[in-house]
Structure 1
Amino acid sequence: MADLEKQVVPHDEEVKQDANLVDFDGPNDTENPFNWPTWKKGRQLVLMAFNTFITPLASSMFTPGVSDVMREFNVTSSMLGSFVVSVYILGYCFGPFLIAPLSEIYGRVALYHSCNLLFLIFTIACALAQTMPQLIVFRLLAGMAGVCPLTIGSGTVADMVPKEKRAGIMAIWAMGPILGPVVGPVAGGFLAEAEGWRWVFWVIAIVTGVMMILTIIWYRESYGPVVLERKAARLRKSTGNPDLRSIHDKGKLDPKLFFSALARPLKLLFGSPIVFLVALFAATTYGYLYLMFTTITSIFEEKYGFSHGVAGLAYLGFGIGSMLGLVVTGAVANRIATNHIQRGCFTPESRLLPMMVGCWFMPVGLFWYGWSAQAGTHWIVPILGTGVFAVGLMTVFMCASTYLVDSYLRYAASVTAANTALRSLVGALLPLAGPSMYAALGLGWGNSLLAFIALAMCAVPFLFWRYGARIRTHPRFQVNL
């Protein structure tokens, strides 16, 4: 009875309370990012894709120059040579846990600008590094700042794009995390050979500076709760009514609420079987990608006699396969979403259908690449194998991202942070085992081991296609966010 009495609110008080809540002015309010003009959304999304391309580019563009760095700093450990590349991805593990929750408190744009500035500073520091420890530390810090667009990019898409079009736009955003590391070694190989490894960082810094100027001019806040908070602040000033507040307002941000927000990605990662297993599948694919990145240059130099610069062209298989996977998966996923929405049966699990087909390309590509390189066939054959692998990689990457975002839409940045952090941890550590694994097992059985693990992971989309909705709604797996 007492509980019922607490819920009773006098009619006049209810009207007064509702009158002080600030929301968008109907479904066609132009302040709502969903209703922005196409040119405004397009400008933001193109800049975001550019932003998301540059920082992953920096993760691998340096790879062909590692041998020059080792000679300059008198380093002989191959593991340390791999680590100076993968430590950047290790930075991706830590950054998201701070960036994502802060973006859900202060908005996306403030985080984009702050992290871009820090990324520029640490990239310049890498170019000026005088010892291997300095370079490793600056690479780590650059990775922590550079992960920002990867962490909140999917949230920015979810802020502006309706679900029936979201997969296609996600495909554009996903170009950065995949194509950046692919294009990097191609450009970095020739640049490091012609001008030295330090110029790789100078070029990245110059491009970052240009991108920063463009984003400062044209980025606009897209996170709905922050847009409404700013609207409420304007109305309080113009009307003189201090009681006006956003419908998302939770009162003063106390330390408990702040630290709860910071813990949200971890809660999602370890509290939801969906987030953990889907992120683990994406992490496995990403780890394979970077393991191959850190070994493919030496394989093609030693086995096929490629020069430093030409060895970078071996990464084109990844690039072409990624583009093919991106275009096909984006088109198919959008068509499935539109069809399911029209039929009234759309659920987040609708995003898994392309993955249920595309994931099989990964183990096929790994077997193909490993055994053809082991046999010393024509160089185009293992490169074609990496292309087949990349088709599967892009399908898994895109479908995992859209499935997690649609499952936890309001906390899209936090769930993407959980996904990014686990993916990056595996991407940073797995390459360290690459040289010793291939030395012990050879290219054929080494890649076969990876393929067998990938085969087991292919069960993930089928598992959640059948049981995902039940798991998401089961009280046992509800995450207190």
Structure 2
Amino acid sequence: MALPNASRPVSWSNTTAASTRPPSPVNIEKDHDKSRQSSTIADFNPGIDPEKGSPQNAGQEATPSAPHTSSQDRPSALDWDGPEDPLNPHNWSAARKWYQTYTISGIAFVGTFASSVFTPAIEQSASELHSTQLIATFAYSIYALGLAFGGPFAAPLSETFGRRPLIFISLPIFALFILGTGFAQSMASLVVLRFWAGFFAAPSLSMGSGTLSDIWPPEKRSGPMSLYVATPFMGPALGPILGAAVTQTRGWRWTSWLILFFTIVLVIAPAPFYKESYKPVLLRQRAKKRNLPLPRSPTEGMSLPKIVSTYATKTLTRPMHMLLTEPIVATFNTYSAFNFGLLYAFFAAFPYVFATEYGFDSVSTGYTFLGLGVGVIIATICIVSFSKLYYLPRVRKAIAEKTPAPAFATSRLAPEKRLPLAFAGGPILTIGLFLFGWSAAYRVHWIVPTIAEAFFGGDGPIEGAFELDLANGIDEAVATSVTRPWLFAFKPTTSTPNGRNILILGGGGYIELMVGREGVQVARWLAGLGFHAFVLIHRFPNKETGIQAPIDDARRALTMFYEKGFGVRPMGVCGLSSGGHLAASLLSTYPTCWSNPNAESGVPYLEFAIIGYAPISTNAKGRQIIPNKPALEPPEKQALYDTVQPDVQLESRVPPTFIVYAGNDPVVPVVNAYRLAEGIMKAGAPVELHVFSDAPHGFALDTLGLPVSDWPSMCEKWMRQGGFLS
């Protein structure tokens, strides 16, 4: 694109940096020459309103209908034709959505059912295959190990090929290995076959949350998600019952035939009617049918050995690296592993306890596993009932009465109002373990250890009250529902911390939150530069939380730094996408039409700000540049953008700001960058603006191979020049 200047025309190419700082001894043009495409440095001219139009370079006009286009003419991203696009899974009929939901839930049931159905067959298989019961127990438990190893492969492949091919290719392979277990003639072959069966069953568990996020909007996702969470727990509960019945009447090999039966009914039969739901795959398929050019692929131009090498050395090693270096990930995984370890220990211990101590046969022992299913059902009912009957009505009442938030709280209700669920999560696990061990040791009535199992079964779903979609790993994690804000800290990973805090605000359009791409990944980058990085998971604006929920959460996070002893350090803020709008709001005056008892005290002074591709004001009524743009949903989101327009509401003390945008972004027009930069300059603060003419929407940090991937290094140089890394 071209940007006119008051004195002379200035060409803006792939990267345009604008700064009001004095000339630096650093040769910026030399740095830009290192990028793949040339760039021109220009001074930002606040007297020009790009919204009024400017002559564009004809060489940069995209021609999507051309059969052969250069890489510069290819689109940076694909999107729906509009809010009513029938291809969008959110617009599918209710029957289609529930069919997809029931199918993916049934597939998850098969994946976990296969893990526990072998439990009653442990002793019989050891005897027939001339092995020990210990090795037979290993054959039972190694299936779970296969599930663990298969997970890191499933998520990356689904991003390339889509949900449907991955599920309906891997599950038939799983069925073939299960078929092999039914004909196994040695314990060694049984161990190997069950491991690979678990490996290829992994997508049945790792794809569910992502699939439901594809087809259900956040406000309608709680019901389908509850169903999906319950079915994997019901699999282990029903597996031992049915496994015991067929083992006692037909032999242990019939546990394999039972798995195959459910695979045919719940996986193979629905496959022809199951639709792909992953947005990038759907859009690329439609673009091919329309003979339109496709966006650049991350592996485009790579040879097959290079693609495999990149996948093996980066994608597969990243989860283990995170496990060993990220305390949050390590702690959460350790707790989850402990719970699942106890779950499978129960499956192995129940046949022994009820056969030895209570004289049950295999079928009667199988029925005792119903305690686990009862616990899951009760816990799920408790969660839904607590939310609908207790918490949400009180939130609505507080909003209707305009009750101010309690002191030191970030919601309309005191945090203690949610504690009843927290009380139930951890203690019931301890109660269940105590009841089971004590009752079995003293041969108390058999109902007591069965009730103890229900306590254990109730622990799993209750711990899932915080909805975070981790189907594609922590680096791609998405918060789909937040009822209470969370703040995660990342310590500096350098030997010489720079003594500064930085608050990181991810995007997601205020209806989701890209915790991974625009939160954790950014925190890792900044912690590597010596910052104490804090990722905020804030609430969304809706009828339950109110319009100003995300801004109140962000302001509260900054003030909390001081209360927790971090106030001696200078602070900055980094926000991308809607998180950039939220970051800019921290530089603005708090709207007088909102009630917040802590608003008058303001927020601590920010030393600097980093803002990327943020919808600053083009979503506000009267300032939109897209003709006839419909109002955003939910209404509270539109009201937030209408009320908070940072470019014209900045306070007098505005810090130096680094701004980065895509010049061709159809979702967040680049005029937002010009408006914000002009507002900051009018407030008397220096600003550096970089506009990449060809960059994908939401480019974040993972656009390797594109010119826009240089923006973090440019930002680092800016921070060094400003003294923020000293």
TM-score bracket, shorter-length normalisation: 0.7 to 0.9
State the 1:2 CA deviation.
6.7
State the 1:357 CA deviation.
3.4
* 2:137 corresponding residue in structure 1: 82
Q: Does 1:388 align with 2:455?
A: yes
Native 8 Å contact 1:154 1:413 kept in 2: no
State the 1:36 CA deviation.
1.5
For residues 455 and 419 of structure 2, the distance between their equivalents in structure 1, rounded to whole angstroms, comes to: 19
Distance 1:466 1:97, change over 3 A: closer
SS of structure 2 residue aligned to 1:468: strand
Question: Of the candidates 354, 357, 372, which is equivalent to residue 423 of structure 2?
Answer: 357
SS of structure 2 residue aligned to 1:467: strand
Question: Of the candidates 82, 99, 107, which is equivalent to residue 162 of structure 2?
Answer: 107
SS of structure 1 residue aligned to 2:185: coil
Q: Does 1:287 align with 2:287?
A: no
* 1:454 corresponding residue in structure 2: none
Q: Does 1:185 align with 2:240?
A: yes
For residues 292 and 275 of structure 1, the distance between their equivalents in structure 2, rounded to whole angstroms, comes to: 26
For residues 302 and 312 of structure 1, the distance between their equivalents in structure 2, rounded to whole angstroms, comes to: 14
How do 1:16-95 and structure 2 match up within 5 A?
16-17=61-62, 20=75, 21-76=77-132, 78-95=133-150
Native 8 Å contact 1:88 1:142 kept in 2: yes
* 1:303 corresponding residue in structure 2: 357
State the 1:166 CA deviation.
2.6
For residues 145 and 476 of structure 2, the distance between their equivalents in structure 1, rounded to whole angstroms, comes to: 14
State the 1:102 CA deviation.
0.3
Q: Does 1:245 align with 2:294?
A: yes
Q: Deviations over 1:188-242 (max 9, x none)?
A: 1111000000011012112212333323211111111111111221222xxxx5x
SS of structure 2 residue aligned to 1:301: helix
Native 8 Å contact 1:297 1:314 kept in 2: no
Distance 1:225 1:253, change over 3 A: farther
State the 1:181 CA deviation.
1.0
16-25 vs 87-96, which moves further:
16-25
* 2:21 corresponding residue in structure 1: none
State the 1:187 CA deviation.
0.9
Distance 1:111 1:91, change over 3 A: same
State the 1:353 CA deviation.
7.0
How do 1:425-440 and structure 2 match up within 5 A?
none
Distance 1:265 1:155, change over 3 A: farther
For residues 274 and 239 of structure 2, the distance between their equivalents in structure 1, rounded to whole angstroms, comes to: 26
Native 8 Å contact 1:113 1:216 kept in 2: yes
Comparing both structures, which one devotes a greater share of its residues to helix?
A: 1
SS of structure 1 residue aligned to 2:351: helix
How do 1:43-442 and structure 2 match up within 5 A?
43-76=99-132, 78-236=133-291, 241=292, 244-246=293-295, 250=298, 252=300, 254=302, 255=307, 258-259=311-312, 260-266=314-320, 268-270=322-324, 272-330=326-384, 332=386, 356-359=422-425, 360-396=427-463, 398-399=464-465, 402-403=467-468, 405=469, 412-415=471-474
* 1:448 corresponding residue in structure 2: none
* 1:457 corresponding residue in structure 2: none
For residues 297 and 394 of structure 1, the distance between their equivalents in structure 2, rounded to whole angstroms, comes to: 25
State the 1:328 CA deviation.
2.5
Native 8 Å contact 2:428 2:459 kept in 1: yes
* 1:467 corresponding residue in structure 2: 487
Question: If the length of structure 2 is used for normalisation, what is the TM-score?
Answer: 0.52
* 1:11 corresponding residue in structure 2: 56
For residues 475 and 350 of structure 2, the distance between their equivalents in structure 1, rounded to whole angstroms, comes to: 29
Q: Deviations over 1:294-349 (max 9, x none)?
A: 11111011111111211111111111001111233245467868998997979xx9
272-281 vs 385-394, which moves further:
272-281
* 1:423 corresponding residue in structure 2: none
Distance 1:70 1:257, change over 3 A: closer
* 2:27 corresponding residue in structure 1: none
Mark the runs of 5 or more structure 2 residues left unpaired by the alignment.
1-14, 19-38, 43-53, 65-74, 400-409, 478-483, 490-502, 505-514, 528-532, 536-699, 703-726
For residues 253 and 268 of structure 1, the distance between their equivalents in structure 2, rounded to whole angstroms, comes to: 29
For residues 301 and 109 of structure 2, the distance between their equivalents in structure 1, rounded to whole angstroms, comes to: 34
Q: Counterpart amino acid of 1:50?
A: G
- The aligned length equals 417
* 1:426 corresponding residue in structure 2: none
Q: Deviations over 1:265-321 (max 9, x none)?
A: 445544544333223222211111101111111101111111121111111111100
Distance 1:284 1:38, change over 3 A: same
State the 1:104 CA deviation.
1.0
For residues 151 and 310 of structure 1, the distance between their equivalents in structure 2, rounded to whole angstroms, comes to: 33
SS of structure 1 residue aligned to 2:282: helix
Native 8 Å contact 1:269 1:415 kept in 2: no
For residues 360 and 264 of structure 2, the distance between their equivalents in structure 1, rounded to whole angstroms, comes to: 34
SS of structure 2 residue aligned to 1:325: helix
For residues 105 and 274 of structure 1, the distance between their equivalents in structure 2, rounded to whole angstroms, comes to: 28
State the 1:12 CA deviation.
4.7
For residues 394 and 115 of structure 1, the distance between their equivalents in structure 2, rounded to whole angstroms, comes to: 27
- Indicate the percent of aligned positions where both proteins have the same amino acid: 29
For residues 126 and 245 of structure 2, the distance between their equivalents in structure 1, rounded to whole angstroms, comes to: 18
For residues 245 and 261 of structure 1, the distance between their equivalents in structure 2, rounded to whole angstroms, comes to: 24
* Rg comparison, structure with higher value: 2
For residues 338 and 218 of structure 1, the distance between their equivalents in structure 2, rounded to whole angstroms, comes to: 40
* 1:455 corresponding residue in structure 2: none
* 1:442 corresponding residue in structure 2: none
State the 1:41 CA deviation.
0.9
Question: If the length of structure 1 is used for normalisation, what is the TM-score?
Answer: 0.77
Native 8 Å contact 2:135 2:187 kept in 1: no
Native 8 Å contact 1:317 1:386 kept in 2: yes
For residues 163 and 212 of structure 2, the distance between their equivalents in structure 1, rounded to whole angstroms, comes to: 11
Q: Deviations over 1:433-474 (max 9, x none)?
A: xxxxxxxxxxxxxxxxxxxxxxxxxxxxxxx96533879654
State the 1:414 CA deviation.
2.9
For residues 287 and 388 of structure 2, the distance between their equivalents in structure 1, rounded to whole angstroms, comes to: 35
Distance 1:224 1:18, change over 3 A: farther
Alpha-carbon RMSD: 3.5
State the 1:13 CA deviation.
5.5
* 1:434 corresponding residue in structure 2: none
